Chains A and B, each alone.
Chain A
Amino acid sequence: MGFSIFRAAMTILICCFLVLLFLLPSAILSRFSAQANDLIDKAENALLSGDPDAAAPYCAALFALVRERMPVLERFLNHASIDALDACAAVADCAVRANDPGAAAEALAEARSVLVRIEGIELFSWNNLL
């Protein structure tokens, strides 16, 4: 009897934990990717307008954002994809500081594609399910 109650309680707790896991990581990832995409957009626009100095703070902010969120993201994302995003952000930051807009734009485009890949894999979709 005692074990049955314990099992029922554990099953309810497990259900709650799973629901939390379905909602929380996707909310964190959505928020992170929205912020990162916004910074990438601003940095790319600055580079397109031929002003690498204006892009520098956005690239630095992107790098800082990835580094800041890395520990949380690694709890529920494959570490390789986070490392790839971190590398792209680092290259973009370095390139823009070194006044190399071409390399910075390339790194930003790569960062965006990594983000799209992560969202494609991690966020729920019927395509992923199959």
Chain B
Amino acid sequence: MIFGVLAHPLRMLTLFLRAVFLDLFVLLVLRLTGKRQVSDLQPYDLLMTLIIADLASTAIADTDIPLLYSVVPILALYLVQQLLAKLCLKSSAIRRLVCGTPQILILDGVLQEKIMQRTNYTVRDLLDSLRSKDIFDVGEVAYAILETNGTVSVLEKAAFQQPNKRELGLEPGSAALSHLLILEGKIQKSGLETLHLTKKDVETMLKKNGLALKNIFFAQMNGDGELHVQLDRKNRSRVLSFSEG
């Protein structure tokens, strides 16, 4: 059998190229759907993704089937998904029909038995979800809501909520994002643009602190102009922090 396969290297090449083509095609379609990770997916989206994968694999493995036999249904599913997404945006009734509605599992500290039965969500499932949110006592929960993508959102009772800076009367500080500035000895252009810096500014800053660009494994700057630097392995991965000024 092995010799039979080797005697037809072009068939193997066909299989290889079909796999590459369909892989890129599925990648394009999934990117067009706009979903980035499995947790973003509604059950319907997940189902569509699985069907697309199955359709693609059929044409990859069987060269007797024209590629169009996979391409057309995949495109049809994409169009249906886009149509439903648009309809869901326009109409809340359709959104309820397609995506369902969030269900309150705990209302004012009371488990909603009827809703849990209706959604096939057991108390054990709920306790699992609460534990994954670092809540080990159901008595701490005021509200728990089963979202349409299957995750559980939790609002703790006021007595168990962590106090925030405002409640404690502390200085709030800035909430600006940190941006990647250097990675593996290379200055990141996107970081420079966001922070309104030039390459020369960064090099001057490093020079002032006795650092060479090539020795830096990772550097990030926050909104306050504080630079967090980690040197590379040759420099024992030392971690440094200093301000722009």
Contact = CB atoms under 8 A, between A and B. Distances in A.
Contacts of A80: 64
B34 interface: yes
Contact of A11 (B64, B68, B82): B82
Contacts of B79: 11, 14-15, 18
Contact of A74 (B34, B66, B76, B82): B66
Contacts of A15: 79
B58 to A, nearest CB: 12
Interface in B54-68: 63-66, 68
Interface residues of B, number: 14
Contact of B75 (A14, A77, A78): A14
A53 to B, nearest CB: 37
A69 interface: no
Interface in B23-76: 32, 34, 63-66, 68-69, 72, 75-76
A10 interface: yes
Q: Which range holds the interface residue count of chain A? A: 10 to 19
B78 interface: yes
A98 interface: no
Q: Is the interface of A mostly helix, strand, loop or mixed?
A: helix
A2 B34 CA distance: 13
Contact of A10 (B32, B64, B65): B32
A85 B75 CA distance: 30
A75 B65 CA distance: 9
Given A11-B82, A15-B79, A21-B72, A78 B66 contact: yes
A124 interface: no
Interface of A: 3, 7, 10-11, 14-15, 17-18, 21, 25, 74-80
11 contacts: A7-B32, A7-B34, A11-B32, A11-B82, A14-B79, A18-B75, A18-B79, A25-B68, A76-B66, A76-B68, A78-B69
